[in-house]
Structure formats: structure tokens, C-alpha cells
Amino acid sequence: MTSTWAASPDRAAHRWAHWTLGVVAASAAVVYVIAAADPNLHNYYTPAVVSMSESWHNFLYGAYDTSGWAGVDKIPGSLWPQAVSVALFGAHAWSVLLPEVVATVATVVMLYLAAARWRGRVAGLVAALVYATMPLAAALAKSNVPEVWFALALAIAAYLMVRAAQSGSFWWLLGTGLAVSAAFQVKMLEAWMVYPAIALAYLIAAPRSLGTRVWHTVVAGLISIAASLWWIALVTLTPAASRPWVGGTTDNSPWSMVFGYNGFGRVTGSQGSFVASFAGDAGLSRLVGPQVSVDVAWLLPLATIAVVLGVTLSIARVRDQRREPAARAASLSQLGGYVFFGVWLVVVAGVMAFSAGIHTFYLLAFAPAIAALVGGLVQEGWDVLGSWTARITASLLVVGQAAWTGWLVARADTHSWLIVAVPAIALVAIVLLLLGWRAGLVLATLGIVLAPATWAIGSISVGNAINPSASSEQAMGGPAMRGPDGAAGGPPAAMQGAPAMPGAADGGPPGGAPTGGPMDGSSTAAGFDDASAQALRDWLMAHSPGTEYLVAADSTTAGQLALVEAPGVLTLGGGFNGSDPTPTAEQLSTLVTSGELRYIVVGRTGGGGPNGGAADTTAVAAARTAWISENCSVVNDGPTTTGTLYDCAPAD
């Protein structure tokens, strides 16, 4: 089946659409590149990226430290492009963020392709524009959290899904499932939340018999699930001694990391998972609350209306075209798209709303669906604006959106000029709409993206490495995060500085994040030239000839050493909380006795995270600290470090 886009004979309009898309994508790229010049590099993921660039072993398993002892607490899919970039161009802030900028611009283009094939060029251009002006997308383009790659994978899945629903092809549907499998390598179980949308859309819209649609859906789904699990299977089958410890776990299992720590544990807030309550209390109000509204909520009500209106109109068209097979198939395809994007939005929004706690940037997971749905809604008006019903409906929607925008702007208490500008644009757009002029839709579209575009551009000067956001309030640090024991606590070990480093009370960043090193947890990253880390690296390399491991260090120091590409660094208590139960005191003893390790750096908690962790993890950290105290001596003439430097060489 040919799509509305592909079937159009209007070559001039085709070229015009592509030129317009180019302007939108290029403009977005300029904003993202300018923003990335003042980067928000994540304190935990960035050292891992540099470590992963050092060897194929570290790359494949997602090592946090350069020795490959400790792994990150995620499947490292989003870190692979960054590690490739660092391997090619060297360890710089810009080389880490280059893939993120490319991925975000690519998402804009993919959304155009998906929405244009589904509903038409206007829908594609509006979808691209909405996503390009999404404040959260702009804020994340200057950060290296996983969400930008997740959004790209889902946008690719959306394009393939539209092709599958239009053609009834098993291979397009399988491609959709494999795109979800790729998304799984980035955000794990979160990727599977789009399965209901895919299944329902294909079963409703694909031009095949019911039996064929069912077996296509089942087989493609099973293959997608199997493909999703390849990294978990690889780590499971690799002997524990031949790979890093699986971050965030007490049992060194990728299954518990994916399905427990990063999966159901995040939703329920169960013990063992890290829960960040940046987005407000659980409930539907979270989705439009002050913590997230300027990031992603501008067009959420309009997208919801688009689902209801689009499904209603599509069903009516299908009924009216029962005697016209080609037209009916096209209307079914449109219905399938509304179902796909609508169920995607509802399922993901529901999980995000009622999870125990989330980062605000998690909500980028439904941003592509919002963009496509708004695009579809504008296309509906574009196609039937000659009708008085359509003109009045469009005018009412413009009024409602202007009121919603004004309320959000007033609540944000900034950019107050928008409270005048948006209604003024809306008024002119309504006059044009009532006259039946499509220019009214163009103006209305520009009006609805004006406020989010303002915040997207403003994200250039907003910084938060741990909870990237376009909101200046979120940049101040947000509410406390909860560790695996459910108690409130400070930032994890990878975000902590040494006791001598200034905290918020001393003019430094909130939470005591290091200010002299390459990572600043409250705002931006200064680079990878931390003088103290380089001095420690050089001293250790001069004093540790022949050892397998250059040093064993707390997670903060291990991360700082990774950024200056110190080889053979072993992390004490890895994971985002800095409390993984590895290495044990017995392992340290064996490494020292065998001559594989001599020096150890211990921070304020002896290698464990400040949040403590589960009881058995605390016991491991305590035993490790006791062994170091009993068997190692403090190096008084060594370089200044973020902790205490010990020499553990056995006495002659």
C-alpha cells in the first residue's frame, strides 16, 4: 500500500517539505551544539565511557573503571556510541556529547518520516517541529544520560511500525520489534512498554486476515524479546571472573539488575533499587506538575485530545468507506497510527506517573508520541478546514492551548512576555481559521511551540548533571534522592567529593560534588584535565611497576582516574550508589599477596556509598576497610588525593 506521502504527485510540495525539515533540523542542531558547549556530563556515566573506549572487553561489558572490575548499573547500549566517539577523537567533553547531539537531531528527522508516512507532510513537519522545540530534548542534548538514544530507537520503531501497519508485512513488523530490542539495550524494561501499542495497531490496521495478523504479531514479538535479551545472556554465560561485576546488584546477576534494580524495583520503590524523586509525588498530577511542566507538559493535553479526536474521526471514516476498499484501508492505517501513538503515550505516561520516583528526564520516553499526535491533529485540520465544524473545532483548540500555555508560564514565573504574546498570536490565528485559511493553522502551530521553544533555547544556560532539565529550579538540585534502603540521603559515591572539597555551604555545588575535578555535579563538566587526578596517575605509574592493577580506589577517585585514562584502576564498591559488595577483603588480600595490587585510595566511606546500602553490602565495606587499616600503611609523601592513599605491599 502506498502512503499519502509517497502517492502525492506534487514534487514541488515534496521539495518544500524537505527544505522545511532541513531548516527545522538545522536550527535544532545549532541550539543543541551551542548548549553542548556548556555540557552537563553525568558523573557516573562519563568515566564509564572513557573506560569503555580503552578496550573491547570494557566496551562490551560496560566497565566503569579502566581495569574492567566494576560495571555500570545499566545495559551499556547508550554508552557504546559515546565510547566509540571517545576512541576516535580522544577523551573530551565534546567527543562524549557529539553522539548525543547527532542522535537528537536524527530523532527529529525520524519523527518527520514516521508522521509524514502515516498522515502526510504537514503532520511530519509539525511532529519534527514539536520535538525539536521540546525543552527536555534540548536539555538532554547537552547531557549523556541514556534517554536521547531511547527516543531515537523508539522513533525508528514508529517509522517501521507505520510501514508494517500499511503493508501488512511481517518483515516491517519484525523490524519494528528489533528497533524495540535496540531500545531495550538503552532503557531495558521501559522499551517493552510499547509492545501493547505495536500489537494493537498491527492487529487493527494491517491489511491481512486476522489469523495472519495474529501469528505475525506473536512471532515478531517473541523474536523481539529474544533479541532484547542478548546482552543479558552474554553476561550470564561469561564466567564472573572474566567480566566486570554487574553494577547495582548484590548477586552479580544481569537478570536482577535489569528486572529488579532497574525494573520493577524502580516502579515499586522496593528495597535494592535507587529511586530519585525529582518529579514530584506519584499520581497523574506528576505529569503536569511544576517539576516537569516546562520540560515536556506543554502539549500533553493537546496530544491527549488528538488521540480521542483522531480515533473517533478515523473510525467514522472506516465506517463510511466500507464500499471503498482502498480508502477504507487508508483510514484503517490512520486509525492504527492513532492507536499506536496513543497507547504508547498512555502506557508510558501511566507507568511514569505512578512509579515510586523518577528523574524528570525519564519523561522523554513519551515525547516522540506527543510530537506525532500533535502532528496528526494539525493534519486533520489541514485536510478538512473548508468545513465550518473543523474551523470552529480548531479555533476552540487554539483557545484552550493558549490558556494552558498561559497558566504554565504564569506558574513558572518567568518569560512573562509569553502571557501576552501567545494569546495575541492565537487571536490572529483564530481569525484566519474562521476565514478558512490554512495560514491560520501555520500561525497556530508556531504559537503553540513558542513557549516550549523559549525554554528549549533557555536550556543552553541551565545545568544539572544528575537530573538534566530545562527548568532552572531543577538545576538547583531538586529534592533528595533515596538509596537502596529507601532512606533519604546525599548523592551517590560517584557524585561525592573529598571531605576537604567545598559543599553548598562553602560556595561549591549542592551535595558536596567535587569542584576541582572534571565533574561538577550541579552544573557543567570542566573537561578531562583534572590536575590532581593526573598527578595521582603519574605518581602511581611511577611507583607501581609490574602490578596488574595500578590502584584500588573508591568510586569517586576511580572515576576521576578513568577520565585521565589511568590504566588498571579497580573500583572499591562500584555501582551508582558506590556500594556494590566487591571486592571483598579476601579478594584484596589475594591481589596484594600475589603482587597484582599495591596501592589503595580510600575515600570518606571506605569505598562504599554514603547511602550505606543493604546490610550485606555494608558488612563487605566494613570488612574491607578493616583489612586495609590492619594491613596497609598511609603514604604521607604521595600526591594529594580525594581520599587517603595506602601502600599495601607486604613487609619484607
pLDDT, one tens digit per residue, over 533-585 is 899 999 999 998 888 999 999 998 999 999 999 999 999 998 888 889 999 99
pLDDT, residue 26, reads 96
3 state SS for 226-241: HHHCHHHHHHHHCCHH
Is residue 472, in this structure, part of any structural domain at all?
no
> Of the candidates 459, 476, 511, which is a domain's last residue?
459
Q: Is the pLDDT of residue 56 over 90?
A: yes
The verdict on 537 and 394 lying in the same domain is no
pLDDT above 60 for 244: yes
Question: Among the three residues 397, 426, 459, which one is the final residue of a domain in this structure?
Answer: 459
Domain end among 413, 441, 459: 459
Looking at the fold, whether 109 and 209 belong to one and the same domain comes out as yes
For residue 312, the surrounding DSSP H or E stretch is: helix 300-320
Same domain flag for 431 and 541: no
Residue-wise pLDDT for 252-279, tens only, equals 999 999 999 998 888 887 756 667 677 7
pLDDT band at 300 (very low <50, low <70, confident <90, very high): very high
412 or 183: which leads in pLDDT:
183
The pLDDT value given to residue 322: 83
Indicate the burial class of 370 (C-beta count within 10 angstroms; 0-12, 13-18, 19 or more).
Answer: buried
101 and 203 together in one domain: yes
Q: Give the model's pLDDT for residue 290.
A: 85
Quick check: is 295 in a domain? Answer: yes
In this prediction, residue 617 has a pLDDT band, given cuts at 50, 70 and 90, of low
**pLDDT tens-digit series, residues 468-496:** 888 765 544 443 333 333 333 333 333 33
In tens, the pLDDT along 590-605 reads 999 999 999 999 874 4
178-200 per-position pLDDT tens digit: 999 999 999 999 999 999 999 99
Does residue 385 lie within any of the structural domains? yes
In a domain, 252, yes or no: no
Q: Within this chain, do residues 439 and 548 fall inside the same structural domain, yes or no?
A: no
pLDDT at 11: 73
Kindly tell me if the per-residue pLDDT of 504 is higher than 70: no
Asked if 364 and 108 count as a contact pair (C-beta separation under 8 A), the reply is: no
pLDDT one-digit tens code per residue, 99-152? 999 999 999 999 999 999 999 999 999 999 999 999 999 999 989 999 999 999
**Do 537 and 442 share a domain, yes or no?**
no
pLDDT of residue 642: 66
Task: Give the end-to-end CA distance of the chain in Å, rounded to a whole number.
Answer: 81
CB contact burial 515-527 (16+ within 10 A = b; e otherwise) = bbbbbbbbbbbbb
Question: How confident is the model at residue 516, as a pLDDT?
Answer: 30
Question: What is the 3-class SS of 237-274, one letter each residue?
Answer: HCCHHHCCECCCCCCCCHHHHHHHHHHHHHHHCCCCCC
Quick check: 278 and 359 in contact, CB under 8 A? yes
Determine, yes or no, domain membership for 339.
yes
Same domain, 452 and 540: no
* Distance separating alpha carbons of residues 530 and 533, to the nearest angstrom: 5
DSSP bridge partners of 554: 572
Strand-pair partners of 602: 644
Q: Which three cell numbers stand for residue 286?
A: 506528576
- Pair 452, 542 in one domain: no
Find the mean pLDDT for residues 38-45.
88
Least confident stretch, 239-248, 322-331, 512-521:
512-521
Question: Looking at the domain assignment, is residue 522 inside a domain?
Answer: no
* Confidence category of residue 634, pLDDT binned at 50, 70, 90: very high
Q: Given a cut of 50, is residue 608 above it in pLDDT?
A: no
Average pLDDT over residues 319-340: 90
Same domain membership, residue 228 and residue 113: yes
Res 233: pLDDT: 98
3-class SS of residue 332:
helix
What per-residue confidence (pLDDT) applies to 652?
Answer: 61
Q: In terms of domains, do 402 and 548 share one?
A: no
Same domain, 331 and 424: yes
Q: Are residues 582 and 440 in the same domain?
A: no
Residue 592 lies in a domain: yes
The predicted pLDDT at position 152 comes to 98
Residue 354 lies in a domain: yes
Measured CA to CA, the distance from residue 432 to residue 440 in angstroms comes to 5
Q: Supply the range of the domain harboring residue 566.
A: 531-647
Contacting residues for 602 by C-beta, under 8 A, at least 6 apart: 553, 554, 572, 625, 628, 643, 644, 646
C-alpha distances in Å from residue 197, one per residue of 154, 192, 304, 373, 483: 12, 10, 15, 14, 33
- Least confident range from 347-361, 418-432, 615-629: namely 615-629
Number of domains comprising the chain: 2
Residue % of the chain over a pLDDT of 90: 67
Concatenating the DSSP letter of every residue in 188-208 gives: GGGGGGGHHHHHHHHHHH-SS
Q: In the sheet that 481-482 helps form, which strands lie side by side, from edge to edge?
A: 275-276, 481-482, 488-489
